Structure 1
Amino acid sequence: MSGPPFTVQPLGIQDRSAFTCGVEALDRYLHSQVGQDVRRRVTACYVAVETATGEIAGYYTLSASEVLLADMPAELARKLPRYPGLPVARLGRLAVARKHQGHKLGAALLLDAAARATRSEIAVFALVVDAKDDQAVAFYRHHGFQPFGPTDRQLVAPIATFKEILI
């Protein structure tokens, strides 16, 4: 019996140089910038490592953030306390290596991010993302996110969206 094909772990000494997802900005970030951001504690980065090869198959970043209550969709806002801002976890980047695209690894990484936000000792109401393009918007919408704020590329999903899946 074999183990899981991937393990998701904090970014460490993994070789990042061969990672390519097809979006140059996401590749460049993993290759040259994420280490600095992690050391400065402005983001946390988690990588899906292929068990058989040790290669990075995908990654995401997660950080603390805040969104304005006034920017929330009305159906969410009416259920929330009237604080000006709401604590959220920001999914800053999510990328899957080309050879693993189309195999639901992106969904697994999204669920891992939701699980980490749910387990956090710091309360967060939701996950938020700023989708890079229409394809990313479609991915997040498929997974229960909805637009908020001034653009249709800002998306939010209450943590409760994921709790039933995670329990």
Structure 2
Amino acid sequence: MNYEIEPLNSTHIRKNFSCGKSILDDYIKIQASQDIRRKLSTCFVLTDEKNNVVGYYTLSNTSIERANLPNEIIKKLPPSYKNLRATLLGRLAVDKNYFGRKLGEFLLVDAMKKSVLVAKKSIGSMALIVDPIDEIAIAFYTKYGFILLPDSGKMFLPMQTINSLFND
């Protein structure tokens, strides 16, 4: 089966999407288009051959307080920055009919590639930030090297690390 990742548009069929988490199901069905129109985030969808959404993720700009980062990261940064620019991977979900096919990983890798490309060429970003909704999400992101920031509940992966994964 061939999958394609592209920006969400009106031709994508979202009504049957179900990952088992209502907050993520409702987002793609109801809120995503509004957020795109308002320039609050971008939404990328993974579709099947019938244009059904089988997975998605969102990206937007964010910042993270310097004090929330581990000391080994802080000591490498100029002290004048209180808030550091980052990219937020706000949501990532796969339809439950497609569980077990590593599509979450496929979406995450695509999000990482897009994020590092923008950070290198367009807009400064020192890390990819995620805000996991539960322990399952924490375990997923931990498997890919994300570091938990205990005071905020967020996780991050430095762009430098992501860049090294895709460096040709």
Tell me if both proteins adopt one fold, taking TM over 0.5 as the criterion: yes
Q: CA deviation at 1:149?
A: 5.0
* 1:147 partnered with 2:137: no
Supply the AA of the counterpart residue of 2:28. L
Distance 2:43 2:78 in 1: 31
Alpha-carbon RMSD across the aligned residues, in angstroms, is 1.3
Secondary structure, aligned partner of 2:164: helix
Equivalent residue for 1:49, pick from 47, 50, 58: 47
Secondary structure, aligned partner of 1:155: strand
Please report the TM-score for the alignment, with normalisation by the length of structure 2: 0.91
Equivalent residue for 1:64, pick from 37, 61, 66: 61
Q: CA deviation at 1:88?
A: 0.3
Q: Deviations over 1:15-63 (max 9, x none)?
A: 111111111110011101111111000111000112x332111000110
What does residue 26 of structure 1 align with? 24
| Total equivalences in the alignment | 162
What does residue 107 of structure 1 align with? 105
What does residue 123 of structure 2 align with? 122
What does residue 158 of structure 2 align with? 158
What does residue 89 of structure 1 align with? 87
Q: CA deviation at 1:69?
A: 0.8
Distance 2:130 2:57 in 1: 11
Secondary structure, aligned partner of 1:157: strand
* 1:8 partnered with 2:5: yes
Supply the AA of the counterpart residue of 1:147. L
Runs of at least 4 residues of structure 1 off by over 4 A?
A: none
Distance 1:107 1:157 in 2: 15
Contact 1:111 1:162 in 2 (8 A): no
Question: Identity, % of aligned pairs?
Answer: 36
Supply the AA of the counterpart residue of 1:29. Y
Secondary structure, aligned partner of 2:114: helix
Q: CA deviation at 1:123?
A: 1.2
